[in-house]
Amino acid sequence: MAEENRSSDIHKPHIKTRPLPATIILVGGILATCISLVVSISVGAADITFMTVLEAIFRYDATNTSHSIIQELRLPRSLAGVLVGASFAVAGAMMQGMTRNPLADPGILGINAGAVFMVAVCFALFPSLSYNGLILFAFIGAGISVVLVFGISSMGKGSVTPIKIVLAGAAVTALFTALSEGIGIYFNLSQDLAFWFAGGIAGVKWTQLKLMFTWVLGALIVAMFLSKSITILSLGDDVARGLGQKIKQIRALGFIVVLLIAGVAVAVAGPIGFVGLIVPHLARYFVGVDYRLIIPCSAVIGGLLTCLADIGARMINAPQETPIGALFALIGVPFFLYVARKEGRNL
């Protein structure tokens, strides 16, 4: 019996984890996010003091104009930014782990573009569709993109490589972006869709936020349930198979979670790119390769960065707003080139 236990221990892979940095990120990140939320609510066309923000949250007075602005406009917007950032970050982390592709991201691999296309179709053909219906169509569009990307990348000779997936994602993104813009022009929706396409959370209402929270919370719970299996998958299919993992089932369930949270985020904020690329790399750098730590840390970091980006979007060219997607692109494109160059030998 002792020999069998030693034999099984030999075959278990050594997974490098850093629980202390993970704890610091989770606790510090949550505190920093709370502070950023207060700052985010205070910043805008009408400056509001921190004390007024706290009063509006804990002692709401419907007759106070500042309290109404905070409760009806700024608070749901700021909370939506945190949820959107957490969603894209977790989606990117799961994709990178399941595909072992350091360049995996819902935006780069065409998932966001597919969701955007179906949302544009809904705006044009079903303008009175409920928010749950919009989420469902965004989920379908994201799923179509995944099928196309992996179908295209598997064509031709040789195995499916990260660079093939990225190139297929770029082609699918270009296709769905062109179709979405064409729908906007044909149905005279270009102006309505323009800012949303660029990525932004202005105008989010409590009804949207409540539905989004339910979907995202459920998806994050499933993601944490899968985190140990994703860690093993990130070590390679042979290792995962040797440890008794059901690779196809895990990937299928994992991609359903990715499509769901990415679709929900796109339905709320538009196709904000590069959050799912940058954040998992940051989390992995600090906490190691264990996805039981990477996923929750990615959620916290992604929510914080998006909240800070929303603050910057309102301050750069006040009183006009800069799309959040543009800010992340300024950071994300150089980061993408850095990762592509660093991992070039493996692509």
- DSSP line for 224-290: HHHHHHHHHHTT-HHHHHHTT--HHHHHHHHHHHHHHHHHHHHHHH----SHHHHHHHHHHHHHBS-
User: What's the pLDDT at 344?
Assistant: 58
Q: Which tokens hold the place of 229?
A: 């299996």
Pair 97, 234: CB distance under 8 Å: yes
Phi/psi at 322 (5° precision):
-95, 130
Nearest C-alpha neighbor of 200 from the set 313, 329, 293: 313
244 backbone dihedrals φ, ψ, rounded to 5°: 80, 20
Beta-bridge mates of residue 288: 17
Residue 105 or residue 156, greater confidence: 105
Burial category of 167 from C-beta neighbours within 10 Å (exposed 0-12, middle 13-18, buried 19 and up): middle
Residue 111 near residue 142 (C-beta atoms within 8 A): yes
**For position 91, what pLDDT does the model report?**
95
Residue 53 confidence (pLDDT): 87
Which pLDDT score, from 0 to 100, does residue 316 have? 84
At 8 the pLDDT is 43
* Burial environment of residue 14 by CB neighbours within 10 A (0 to 12, 13 to 18, 19 or more): exposed
Question: Which amino acid, one-letter code, is at 240?
Answer: A
- pLDDT above 60 (res 12): no
In this prediction, residues 190-212 reach a mean pLDDT of: 79
Alpha helices in the chain, H assignment, sequence order: 2-11, 19-42, 50-58, 65-69, 75-99, 111-125, 131-153, 162-186, 190-198, 206-233, 237-242, 247-269, 275-287, 291-315, 324-342
pLDDT in tens, 16-46: 678 899 999 999 999 999 999 999 998 876 7
Model pLDDT, residue 6: 45
List 17's β-bridge partners, or say none: 288
pLDDT computed for residue 164 by the predictor: 82
Q: What pLDDT is attached to residue 1?
A: 45
Question: Model's pTM, two decimal places?
Answer: 0.89
* 316 contact partners, CB below 8 Å, separation of at least 6: 322, 327
Structure tokens at 32: 């920093």
Asked if pLDDT for residue 134 goes beyond 60, the answer is: yes
**pLDDT, tens digit, 9 for 90 and up, residues 210-264:** 889 998 999 999 999 999 999 998 888 888 888 888 888 998 899 889 988 998 9
* Angle at CA of residue 102, ends 24 and 29, nearest 5°: 20
Burial class (CB in 10 A: 0-12, 13-18, 19+), 340: middle
- Pairwise CA distance, residues 151 & 307, whole Å: 36
**Average pLDDT over every residue of 321-335:** 85
The per-residue pLDDT for 191 is 73
45 by DSSP, 3-state: which? coil
* C-alpha dihedral (222, 226, 228, 233), degrees to nearest 10: -150
Q: What is the pLDDT of residues 273-297, one digit of tens each?
A: 899 999 999 999 999 999 999 999 9
Q: Measured between alpha carbons, how far is 270 from 115 in angstroms, rounded to an integer? A: 9
Instruction: Mention every residue, 6+ apart, whose C-beta is less than 8 A from residue 107.
Output: 88, 113, 173, 271, 272, 273, 274, 275, 276, 277
What are the tens digits of pLDDT across the range 245-257? 888 899 889 988 9
The pLDDT tens digits of the residues spanning 31-86 come to: 999 999 999 998 876 778 888 888 888 888 888 888 888 899 889 999 999 999 99
7: pLDDT confidence band, cut at 50, 70 and 90?
very low
Neighbours of 188 (CB within 10 A): 9
